[in-house]
Structure 1
Amino acid sequence: MDKTKYNSFIEQWQPIIEENLVLNINNSVTNAELQKIMIYAATAGGKRLRPLLTLAFYQAFGGTISDETVKVANALELIHTYSLIHDDLPAMDNDNYRRGKLTSHKKFGEANAILAGDAFLTLAFSWLTENDLKPELKVALISKLALAAGANGMVSGQILDMLGNNQQYTISQLKLVHRKKTGDLISYACIAGGILANVDDMTIDLLTKFGYDYGIAFQIKDDLLDDGDQVDTIKNTYPHLLGMQQAQIELKNTVKIARNLLIDLNKLNKKFDFQLIEGFLTYFERD
């Protein structure tokens, strides 16, 4: 798999995403204390996978990325950041550190962290309107993001995830958790790139499916990296339910399905930059 286009894309756009994120939070938030908390949370590290997927698909369909497009893509990063702040709270995962830094509630207090999360969630939808996109594209983006992040999307997945603390899930139940908790937002990231490029409904359907499979693969990979020798002590992970070897096979099969969906996208859209998007699948290659 040729990673040249993918590596060049990441090297070019990842720092721009970072800069755009900080610049627009500073421009959007007037309360100095809230601004400080939000900048702290937003710059705590991370791959910026979701906005990168949006921009990559937009470019793959022939779009020209601008500062405005990056801001639209970063609306999803705001949703992702809000979800991490709330995940870390004592009532949920009760984590003291994220990526080596104090979590927001440990650094600024629980109430401030909750409010910062609320601010990220609502600001995301503002960013989807503060541009020169056609009204119908704005509505499509807002509608899709609300579905992906809301009661029948990510939040539903979080509820299912917490319910799993008291029971052992089957593999199909675990996939549903991650389809909702992880897959819905990753699927939106892919769809958003297609919406920005004004692709047809059949293409949106393939992007949706690709995003879900990518999200499942992402979670299996994450479980494989996290579990290690703890397979016997962690209940609802792919290695625990399937065993390490079978979980690796499940990852390989899921990535194959995702790649086949890219092939279908390429057949449907002759000018589609298959090589650029295929590069995102290299994340799942064994180290």
Structure 2
Amino acid sequence: MEKMKTQIETYLAHSLEALKDGPVKEAMYYSLLAPGKRLRPILFLKVLQAYGMDYSAYIDIACSVEMVHTYSLIHDDLPAMDDDDLRRGRKTCHKQFDEATAILAGDALLTQAFSILSQANITDDKKIQCIRILAEASGQNGMIYGQQEDLHFENKQATMEELINIHTHKTGKLITAPLLMAAQIAAPQQKDVFVELGETIGLAYQIQDDILDVTGDEAIIGKKVGSDIENNKSTYVSLLGLEASQELVKDYFKKALECIYKLKINHGIMIEVVQAILKRVK
């Protein structure tokens, strides 16, 4: 996966060259090029690879998803949201620049993502479907709705059903989107399985985040530990306890593997990604 990640990083490093210079562009690059796992673009490219396609022709589409993800992180960190000082081991965007510049940088990354996607070298029908998938996952029926509900449950404990609803949208939708976009290009007839796979990975990933907020090393995870408790957020750990949350992660990853085996693909390529997520420490 390192070669794939390097290709993503190389594209991202030049992806904003056509934009006008200024503090907003600097802030966009600052956040976009911060050290990250690049999970979402890797998921997109791995699906294509698992279907035997040359994924290198689709790096731009993969990076459009990363731009949406980065925009969401910039806005999540703002004082009106989570009010965080650290992200990926660096000052958050609004701390490095200022709040107004951070808001504009997030807005610009979201817009740039769809500009890049609109120019992708795929058929118009597939392009429209990919745009629709990413827009739906990012908007009020997806990630933004999840953030809305996450804020609603600050200072009050959500039930298990409510937590699943929050994180199916806040985290799961933007993990499902690249899987669906790749399926739209490679094998649209299997999209239902990819929805199940994406939502399952998304929930497992979020529970891991909740666990790392309690057990993680700030120097490794690159953000403040204990911020969920400080912000009185509803988490899986606060609801279930640490040990039960860790067991639930294992259950979701087992379900993710079951989803992969339903797909007519090179299973080993997708299993490699799932195992990398399971072993993550940041």
Superposition TM-score, scaled by structure 2 size: 0.91
- Displacement of 1:44 after TM fit? 1.5
1:38 to 28, 45, 49: 28
Q: Give the Cα–Cα distance (whole angstroms) in 2 for the partners of residues 172 and 249 of structure 1.
A: 17
Q: Give the Cα–Cα distance (whole angstroms) in 1 for the partners of residues 85 and 241 of structure 2.
A: 29
- Displacement of 1:167 after TM fit? 1.4
Percent identity (aligned): 38
1:186 matches 2:175: yes
Q: Give the Cα–Cα distance (whole angstroms) in 2 for the partners of residues 141 and 232 of structure 1.
A: 37
Q: Which residue of 1 aligns with 2:247?
A: 249
1:220 matches 2:220: no
Question: Compared with structure 1, are the counterparts of its residues 115 and 235 closer, same or farther at alpha carbon in structure 2 (3 Å cutoff)?
Answer: closer
Tell me, which stretches of 5 or more residues in structure 2 are unaligned? 217-225
Q: Which residue of 1 aligns with 2:188?
A: 200
How many pairs are equivalent? Answer: 269
Q: Which residue of 1 aligns with 2:118?
A: 129
Q: Which residue of 2 aligns with 1:4?
A: none
1:206-246 CA distance string (max 9 Å, x none) = 01110000000001111112223979876511122112221
- Displacement of 1:176 after TM fit? 0.8
Tell me, which stretches of 5 or more residues in structure 1 are unaligned? 1-9
Question: Which amino acid in 2 is paired with 1:200?
Answer: P
Superposition TM-score, scaled by structure 1 size: 0.89
Q: Give the Cα–Cα distance (whole angstroms) in 2 for the partners of residues 52 and 194 of structure 1.
A: 14
Which of the pair has the greater relative contact order for Cα pairs under 8 Å at 6+ separation?
A: 1
1:90-138 CA distance string (max 9 Å, x none) = 1111112212211111111111111111101111111111122100010
Question: Compared with structure 1, are the counterparts of its residues 146 and 235 closer, same or farther at alpha carbon in structure 2 (3 Å cutoff)?
Answer: closer
Matched ranges for 1:229-268 at <5 A: 235-265=233-263
Question: Which amino acid in 2 is paired with 1:244?
Answer: L
Question: Compared with structure 1, are the counterparts of its residues 118 and 235 closer, same or farther at alpha carbon in structure 2 (3 Å cutoff)?
Answer: closer
Question: Compared with structure 1, are the counterparts of its residues 108 and 13 closer, same or farther at alpha carbon in structure 2 (3 Å cutoff)?
Answer: same
Q: Which residue of 2 aligns with 1:3?
A: none
Q: Which residue of 1 aligns with 2:266?
A: 273
* Residue aligned with 1:38, SS: helix
- Displacement of 1:78 after TM fit? 0.5
* Residue aligned with 1:76, SS: helix
- Displacement of 1:252 after TM fit? 1.1
Question: Which amino acid in 1 is paired with 2:80?
Answer: A
Q: Give the Cα–Cα distance (whole angstroms) in 2 for the partners of residues 273 and 215 of structure 1.
A: 21
